[in-house]
Every structure is written in C-alpha cells, then in structure tokens.
Chain A
C-alpha cells in the first residue's frame, strides 16, 4: 500500500503554488481588451433615486460607458432571487422583494449600486464613478429587527407589510407548551447572536468576456459553486443560456459562505461586457467587501427549556427573530429555518421542541450563510441554555448534558432531523480527560492567587452537514438538488484525472481527493490530478458549502471509482485469462491473486485505449462518471471545553486552554482536518470575543474597516488540543461526516460559558470585549454591594 491513502498526513499538493505566490486567482486573469468596472454606490441606507446625471463622467478620459439599472432591466436582465422558498405558518409564501442588480427607483442599503462605470483603467473608472451625480430623496431607515418590526417603521419592500418576510414554525407547539407548563424547573434566556462580516482573504472579483462572434460569455469569478452560478445566471438572470456561458472559479482565497451567492457585480460585469463589447473586470476593495458581502448571523431569540424533577429535559421552546437585510440573498431564507431550527434538539433526547422564526427586512446588506450557517446560532442557543440550566439546577454542566444525551441511533428528533450515529458521551469523556477537568478547581485557586478569575465552559455541539439529500431538501423548499457529481478519467499512461463538482477554496481537495484514489488503486498522489471549478471541464456540480465536499463530493468520486475498478478488473481478467473475482489492484499493478500473473496499472490504461484486446462488447476507454445523492444529512458532533482567565481590573479575557473532541466519521487526512478545526475555532473565538458588524440607527455601517472590525489574530487564540473520537457515518460509502464548519459552530458557546463562569454573571453578549466583560463584572460588584 502507498502511505498516501486514507488516514495519512499527506502534505497539501496545492501549497507549493500558494506559498510561493503562484496561485492563479480571478484578479490575476487579464483578458485582451479588458476594461474595468467601478460601481456608484448609495451612501444612504434608504432613499428614492430621483435622477442620475452621468454626463460629466461620460466625458472623462478613458470612460467607455456609464450604465444604470433602467438599461439593465431594459435588457431583460432578471432580478436576483432567493433559491429556497419558505412557507409561513398561515400557508402564505415568503415575501421576496424585487432586487435589481443595479437599483432603479430606490436604494435599500448603504452600498446598493445604482450605476456602473466601465473605463480603460481602474483609476479612470473610479474617478468617473465619483463624477456620477445621483440625486437621492432620503427616506427614514431601519438597521435592526427591533426597529423594522415597529408600527410605522419605514416600509422597505412594498410586498412585505411590516417588513416581515415570513413567520415560520417547526416542532410540536401544544405538546411543548404543556411540557413546559408541567416542568419542575424552567430556564429562560434572551440570546443574541451577533452579526458578522465574512472576511475571506481574497475579496470578490469577476472578469467577464463576451465573444460577439460566438455569442458566448466567459466569466471568471470568486465562486464556491461555479455550476450553480451558471445555472442561476442563465435560468433566472437571463444573462445567457447555459451552453453559451462558461463560468470558471479558479483559485479562490477562502469563501466561508460569502462566495456561494451570485451578487449584482458578476451579473453587471457580464451584461456590461456585452454592452461595451469588451472584457470587464471588477475586484472588490476591502471597503466594498464590508459593505456588500453578505453578512452572517444576526438573530435575537428568547428560549425556555423545561426539566423534570430528575433534571431530564421535557421541553424546549424558542422564538427567533432574524435580520435578513435589505434583500433576500440566494440561500438566506434557509439559514434561520431549516439549517437552524432543525438542530435545536442538540445532542439531547427531547420529546418536545417548538421554534417559531420571524424574519425581517432592514436597511442593511443582505444576511446569508456564513461558516456554519444557522447551526452556530442553534448550538450557541442550546449550549448556553444547557450551561445556564446546570448552574440554576446546581448540577455539573457536563453531567447534566450526559444525562440527557441521545444514546440510541437512529434517533428521530421532533424537528425533522434523524441522527444516524454518534457517541456523545465518548466525546465528552475524551474532552474532559484531555482538558483535565478534574484539576480545574486547583487551577482556579492558583489563578485567584494571581488576581485572575478562571472559568470553564462546555459546548456539546451537533450539526448537520453534507447538505442533502435532494428529495429531502426539495420537500423543504430548496430550488436545487443537493447531490454531487464526479468523473474519473484514467489516461492511457495510467495517470488519473478526477473531475469534481466540489470546489476547493482552502479545503485541500487536491490532496484529500487524490488520497481517496491513492487508497483505492494504490497509486502515488502525484499521479492523480483534481480538476474542478470550470463548467467547461466538469459536467455539473453543486459546489462546496455546508461541509459537503467529503461526505457528498468524495462519495461521488468513490462511486465513479467503483465503476473504473470494475472495468479495470474486467480488462485485466480478459488479458491475464483469469476470473474477475481473482483480480487485485496493488503496488501499481493489477494482479491475479495468488499467482505471479500481473500487468502494470498503466498497461491496463493503455489496453483500454488501444482497444486491441478487450473483452467482447466492451467499449474502449477508461472513463467513468457518477452522480451521488446521499440518503441523509451527516451529523458531526463533539465536545469543546474552554478555559479562560479574566483580569477583573480590565475585563481582558485570555483563553488559556481550548480542548476539542470531534466526531467527524472517517478522516482522510488528519492534518487537514486539524487545520479545519483550528481555523473554525479561531473564527468562533472571533465571534465570541472580537467580531461585530455594527450599523447605526440610520443604517450607516460603523464597522466598515479593520480599524473597527476586529478579526482574531495569532495572539488572540491559544494552542488548541484537538482530538477525535469518531463513529462511522452509515449514510455514505466512506463513512464521512464533514469537518469544515464544526470549529465555528461548537466554539462560541464554550467561550461564553467559560467567561460567564469566571465572572459569575450570565448577562453577557457576544462579542465579549473587555469593556463588556468589565461592565458585567461591575454588575456583580454592584449586586454584592447592595446585599
């Protein structure tokens, strides 16, 4: 066997080009006759557009065209849509407001584009954009759900009365109410999940080329799912039919969800390329990224959990209000509903769960999926509730969880999900041992001698990954199927190309997917090339999000490998005059078991293509494809334990220990999985302690640069202790569950549970900045003084 198969710490094949600066990103693409786009954006959160005077801009040097929304809609470019329909309690469909890629009558958030300048250089485009005179009639604005819900609030979309998009519910309401009414103890909390800006290192970018002679478009773009982009651009935005549109997502420098969606800029670049007959490039500035990349989270919830006299959970009821921003982004409606409330049973056996969710428009940038997408909101809510309940009940928070764990699988929750596997107690035990929970009291005492408040918090998260299967998501309102496709091409010399519909933008697919093939055919990974991100090369694919590339994308590859393996064995059996069942593939050879008869792997490839001696009726060639649609979501889960020390004088919190025990099912490359966990926890710590996207009441973005939006840095995070205690996922052929989002999902509640434990005040919201922690400590002091 090679040492590059499943479970090996193979160094990332893609890193050579990334760390030597040789990656090829969208902004690196330079097309002949390329022009640059600069967008004219609204400085107002809510305003009527009275007039646009582009005459001065049009007269400036190098300006090719200044285009506006009336021209765009005049060319029948369609409105941007949300691809997941949600039905309200009363049976009515969600109120999707019209979203034109360039606003025509009205702007609805700061950054909403009203016009675009196409010019020879970036500088000329920007200068001319500044010279476009837009007259606005400023309207009152709202920047949060609290204000949007108010009577008399500014009406953002005509078809959404009271700014409500939908009022949705899940679970068993009457039974939950009854269970809570008869509960021995109830815990109630108001919980806010803070709004975040996504910050992929590479900003969004698009280069669009219209070829007039072929009536064909090519779009290079920073996408996590180029085929979905092509489908939507074609079917809904009428840019071009699919066979006349090629979408390429080359190297992409991080996505975190923000690059799933099709934004106005890509649409406008394609259309402007046709209008001007030039290639059109746009690359977001970091300022534009803060203004226009879809934000994440922004939930306000009230939750009540009931326990019987033995501390068993009897019911859990949640109301959540979610801010979806000024328009409905591509998957925005699914995030606070099916990606969120379906996980509110957590790792626990709860007979009665009910959640209702109201979503609202506000004059802010659209809110959509961001690493975890709904599941961080769910795990934060459930795990803050569990920790708080344990404190109120006076029991150990780990043991309260253990007592309520789901122990038998499959387990049907009251909120759709059917958990297929897991060993939650095993993860808890592993994390407790690694975190030396037994020694915590001594550490706390020692910290107190140094004047520090030490606290510990748990988070036992569960999430649903591998977003699928198609029939299930379709029944819940998804406008697409969520399978994955793959093609395996064995070349005549025996090297292999894997074409996948998954997209790698930091996940290391070029390495892990090659490991899968290496494992199957016992070949070195350098003989295997992963091809992705180009609609002309890969037939179709649903892309990468929701930690689905392993469980779904690799399963599709595995299915295609099954077919290749079967054909290889047929050819070898024919050539070597043996039975198919006796053929084995190992050591670069295809052998007859128990004999010295063998042919080289490359000879099988060559035989398939020369076709001189193939079994009767066999088609030449060695290329197989598969579409894989899983049978269920996958359910990664785990236990995170965070330990902090707070300086009571300043409120400064240091994470001194962070322990993770994850169940990701089968792990292909532990090094890459650990990297995913490290990065995810860093993002979760960012949400818990540092990051907050803030608008003022007039809808102006206050956290619009890295001076005001604080990202985690190396010295903000500890050395993590990461371990795995895995159960095999029965839902896919590889037994994988997914690891991409777990860190960001599981870590925020562990951090806040630890800080609130340290300071003795549960009234603390994310981000737990020093000033907030200090203020919470003052409440404790004031309460003590009053006693």
Chain B
C-alpha cells in the first residue's frame, strides 16, 4: 500500500520545516486528531479518532520524527492501538525543496492495519489511507498559508 503526493506551499522552506515539528500545527493537520502532546524534540503522543469502513475507533499512540535533515527531509512515523478495533501504523517520508519564496513538499507514505479494521475494512484501507495522508498534507498547507 503506497501513497505519494506533492504540494506547493506558499511559505518559505524554514517555516514549513518548523511547522512540521510544531505540535499545535500537527494537531490541526492530522485528520481526527483529538490530542497531541510533545514528549521530546522528536516524540509525541497522540489520540486520533478514525473511521475505516464499518469500524470506528479511537487510536492512542506515538508519533515520532526521525531521519531529520534540516530543512530538507524527515520521516514522520505513527503507531496507534485502537483497542478491540486493532492497530494502525504508518509513516511518511517528506522532502522539502525551496522554490523562491515557496516550498515544494513531496511525500511517500505507507500504512498498515491489523485486527478488526483489517478484517472488516480491508477493501477500504487503501483508499482511506491515501485520503488521510493527502488530507494531512493539505491541512498542513492550509494552516501555513493562513498563518
């Protein structure tokens, strides 16, 4: 299950780079995010509510930033447990490129689910995950361009 995309964000690369690590911005950008707290420079805990097919679940888990090459690249990884609904984990490789005053963001994301979500919603995961990934980066762009 591979997903990728590209966004042009009307903000300088350093602003985008800082935003991706800002829990307030991430909270607004992650679809269904209810809580997000920073526990270190690269680690956060999050509660995310998601609906995949017939399964609706609240996931508690961790978000980690790694492989950081400021201000051009990093990897965002998340892993959450949804109780009886199972688990979800995923990550995105993000690249930032400067283009004048603007920034080109590209990402390649992957997601994996298990337990009841996989059992009941397997047909829908590809499309749902692709939609969620795209929504995250669209939200990020929106927050940055509004700011």
Contacts and interface: CB of A to CB of B under 8 A. Distances in A.
A707 B121 CA distance: 9
A271 interface: no
Interface string B55-88: 0000000000000000000000000000110110
Contact of A707 (B84, B113, B120): B120
Interface in B104-125: 112-116, 118-120, 122-123
Contact of A700 (B83, B84, B118, B123): B118
A55 to B, nearest CB: 15
B66 to A, nearest CB: 18
Contacts of A110: 114-115, 118-119
Nearest to A135: B81
A700 B120 CA distance: 11
Contact of A291 (B113, B119, B123): B119
Nearest to A38: B84
Contact of A704 (B84, B112, B118): B118
A44 B120 CA distance: 15
A14 B103 CA distance: 75
A696 B118 contact: yes
Q: Is the interface of B mostly helix, strand, loop or mixed?
A: helix
A704 B114 contact: no
A43 B119 CA distance: 10
A700 B119 CA distance: 7
A707 B123 contact: yes
A698 B122 CA distance: 13
Contacts of B120: 287, 704-705, 707
A708 B112 CA distance: 19
A330 interface: no
Given A43-B86, A43-B87, A130-B84, A708 B123 contact: yes
Nearest to B86: A43
B119 A701 contact: yes
Contacts of B114: 43-45, 110, 698, 700
A307 B125 CA distance: 50
Nearest to B115: A43
Interface of B: 83-84, 86-87, 112-116, 118-120, 122-123
Contacts of A126: 84
A290 interface: yes
A178 interface: no
A700 B116 contact: no
A290 B119 contact: yes
Interface residues of A, number: 21
A44 B86 CA distance: 8
A129 interface: yes
Given A110-B114, A130-B84, 11 more contacts: A43-B87, A43-B118, A44-B115, A110-B118, A287-B120, A290-B119, A700-B113, A701-B119, A702-B119, A704-B119, A708-B123
A290 B120 CA distance: 11
Central interface residue in B86, B112, B119, by most chain A CB within 10 Å: B119
Interface of A: 41, 43-45, 110, 126, 129-131, 287, 290-291, 696, 698, 700-702, 704-705, 707-708
A287 B116 contact: yes
Contacts of B112: 698
A664 to B, nearest CB: 39
B87 A700 contact: no
A44 B114 CA distance: 6
A130 B115 CA distance: 13
Contact of A702 (B84, B86, B87, B118): B118
Which are the 6 A-B pairs with shortest beta-carbon distances? A43-B115, A704-B119, A700-B118, A43-B86, A702-B122, A130-B84
A37 to B, nearest CB: 15
Contacts of B83: 130-131
A696 B86 CA distance: 15
A229 B86 CA distance: 32
10 contacts: A43-B115, A43-B118, A126-B84, A130-B83, A130-B84, A131-B83, A287-B119, A700-B115, A704-B116, A707-B123
Contacts of B123: 707-708
Contacts of A130: 83-84
Given A43-B114, A698-B112, A700-B114, A705 B84 contact: no
Nearest to A126: B84
B142 to A, nearest CB: 33
Contacts of B84: 126, 129-130
Contacts of B86: 43
B2 to A, nearest CB: 14
A704 B87 contact: no
Contacts of A129: 84
Contacts of B119: 110, 287, 290-291, 700-702, 704-705
Nearest to A702: B122
A506 B118 CA distance: 33
Nearest to B120: A705
Contacts of B122: 696, 700, 702, 704, 708
A701 B83 CA distance: 17
Nearest to A704: B119
Contacts of A701: 118-119
A56 to B, nearest CB: 11
Contacts of B118: 43, 110, 696, 700-702, 704
B5 to A, nearest CB: 24
Nearest to B1: A696
Contacts of A702: 118-119, 122
Counting chain B CB atoms within 10 Å of each CB, which of A131, A700, A705 scores highest?
Answer: A700
A110 B86 CA distance: 10
A291 B86 CA distance: 13
A124 to B, nearest CB: 14
A708 B114 CA distance: 16
For B83, B114, B123, the residue with the greatest tally of chain A CB atoms inside 10 Å of its CB is: B114
Contacts of A705: 119-120
A704 B121 CA distance: 9
Contacts of A43: 86-87, 114-116, 118
A130 B83 CA distance: 5
A673 to B, nearest CB: 37
A295 to B, nearest CB: 14
A287 B84 CA distance: 12
A131 B60 CA distance: 12
Nearest to B113: A700
B113 to A, nearest CB: 7
Q: Which of A43, A129, A696 has the most CB of B within 10 A?
A: A43
Contacts of B115: 41, 43-44, 110, 700
